[in-house]
Homo-oligomer: A and B are copies of this chain.
Amino acid sequence: MKAQRVDMFVCPSATPADTSGLQALADAGKIKPDTLVALVGKTEGTGAHDDWGRVWADVALRDWTAKFLGIPVGEVAKHVIFVLSGGCPGVITPHIAAVTREWLDVPDGSQDGEKRLVVGRAGSDAITPEEVGRMGQIRKVADATHKAMADAGLTDPKDVHLVMVKVPGLTTASIADAESRHKTVVSHDLTFGPEGAGAYANDAAALGVAMALGEVPESKLADDVVRRDWDLYSEVAMTSSGGEKRHGEVVVFGNSTSSASALQIGHAVTRDFIDAAGVRQALRSAGLRFKDGLPDEADLSRLVHVFAKSVIPGSDQVRGQRITLLDDADAYQIGKALGGMLVASVTGRTTNYVSGGERNSHQGPPGGNIVAAVVRAN
């Protein structure tokens, strides 16, 4: 039978355009043109939509990948999924994680019964501007999530621990297009603010994942629950959106007994913004050993990577006391930075993937956030 072997390599970046870590992996034969499936990274810069650090990184990484794969730059997106999250305030080390997937021929029954990391990808049908942030997008992302699970060889939603999604947002042009066809759009605010189209797009994508995985029953979903009913959420969806896209892309990470990987993944959620226990629980879920209530120092070398959201809570209360985060002039930066600290204070390292800074989300429970961890199996 065919079994997939997934690997993940984390390369710190000296500058946004630094591809030396990837080149070293390529030179060492660890990533190959036909095994590289995704590049997921944090890039230094403002984190805003005109974050030139992220844009430059994107250009440089696509150039490198095109050369590595021996194809034109325009073809790269068909082979490798890029998830670059801009902004590394505080203690988030800029880095790129390369994800590889290789198909091995293994004798039937040769697996040890342990669940190991698998990855699957799928594109959604085209999403129209009028669908963005609404049921149309939710359903198309749900469909694509099912397809990506199938590509990963996963059938049980419990085995899914992380779903990264990129969907179209709205632009001046796409709004004009929709309105010329007498359609309405979810918002004219193109920002990621509370009523921004970017926030709606991200959140509808998260609800699409939640629907696919049965975290939220379809019967509870409707246009007007998006960014309204915060009790509906996914515990594994990390989503982003961009105006330039026309369809969604979904990458599913999970564990399967039919995997030949040396890695495994787990996840948990934090219950509020200062909940280090939630981060610890994610490491436990991924199989890391604990000692005296804390990750065993000796075992931390098995930790490959952590993926975490740091969405700012919509409330000004944490455990009964008022905080001013919602009013901080630079709440977006601080919110992201605080997530980086929460994770780093547990993992003892700064090369964590932490995205966020926006306010409120269906990615994770109200006030809390999603944390996933990948660990090398014993």
Q: Which of A14, A276, A292: most chain B Cβ within 10 A?
A: A276
Interface majority SS on A: helix, strand, loop or mixed? Answer: loop
A 341-359 binary contact with B (CB < 8 Å = 1; else 0): 1101110111100000000
Residues of A within 8 A of B (CB): 12, 14-17, 44-46, 48-53, 55-56, 59, 88-94, 187-191, 193-196, 228, 273-276, 291-294, 318-319, 321-325, 327-330, 333-335, 337-338, 341-342, 344-346, 348-351
* 22 A–B pairs (Cβ distance < 8 Å), ordered by A: A44-B52, A45-B52, A48-B327, A48-B329, A50-B324, A52-B52, A89-B324, A90-B335, A90-B338, A91-B318, A91-B323, A91-B325, A93-B322, A188-B195, A188-B228, A189-B189, A194-B195, A195-B196, A292-B292, A329-B330, A330-B334, A342-B345
Contact of A294 among B196, B293, B333 (CB under 8 A): B293
Contacts A90-B334, A293-B294, A334-B337 aside, 17 further interface pairs with beta carbons under 8 A come to A16-B52, A45-B52, A89-B324, A90-B335, A90-B338, A91-B273, A189-B194, A191-B194, A193-B195, A195-B195, A276-B346, A291-B293, A292-B292, A330-B334, A334-B334, A338-B341, A341-B341
Contacts of A53 in B (CB 8 A): 52
Q: Would A44 and B55 be within 8 Å (CB), given that A94-B322, A293-B294 are in contact?
A: no
Q: A89 to chain B: which residues have CB within 8 Å?
A: 324-325, 328, 330, 334
CB atoms of B55 and A328 under 8 A apart: no
How many Å from the CB of A372 to the closest CB on chain B? 19
Please determine whether A88 and B323 come into contact, CB atoms closer than 8 angstroms.
yes
State in angstroms the CA–CA spacing of A318 and B188 once bound together.
Answer: 22
- Are A323 and B92 interface neighbours, CB within 8 A? yes
- Nearest B-chain residue to A276, judged by Cβ: B345
Point out the residues of chain B lying under 8 angstroms from A349, CB to CB.
Answer: 319, 321
